[in-house]
Amino acid sequence: MMAAALGCGPGVSEEEAKVRCDQERLANGTNCIDDAAYSQCLSCEQECGDQCLRLESCPQQYTCPQ
């Protein structure tokens, strides 16, 4: 994996983050994943990838584990 090879930690590329967040938005709709939540999703995925936590809220919230 390229991110691991570059030493960027568990995060994913910007392109992969967009794919994942687009899937989240399609699955959950734009009511709970507004532009701010989508942006938060992108940041979380790029920072911590599979470890990104999706909090049960509306609008959706994303955070990396501490």
46 lies in some domain: yes
2 lies in some domain: no
Output the pLDDT for position 4. 35
Find the domain containing 37 and state its range. 8-63
19 lies in some domain: yes
3 lies in some domain: no
Number of domains within the chain:
1
Output the pLDDT for position 46. 97
Distance CA 44, CA 61 (A): 10
1 lies in some domain: no
Output the pLDDT for position 9. 60
From first to last of the 66 residues of the chain, give the pLDDT tens digit. 233 333 446 899 999 999 999 999 999 888 899 999 999 999 999 999 999 999 988 999 999 987
37 lies in some domain: yes
Adjacent-strand bridge partners of 61: 55
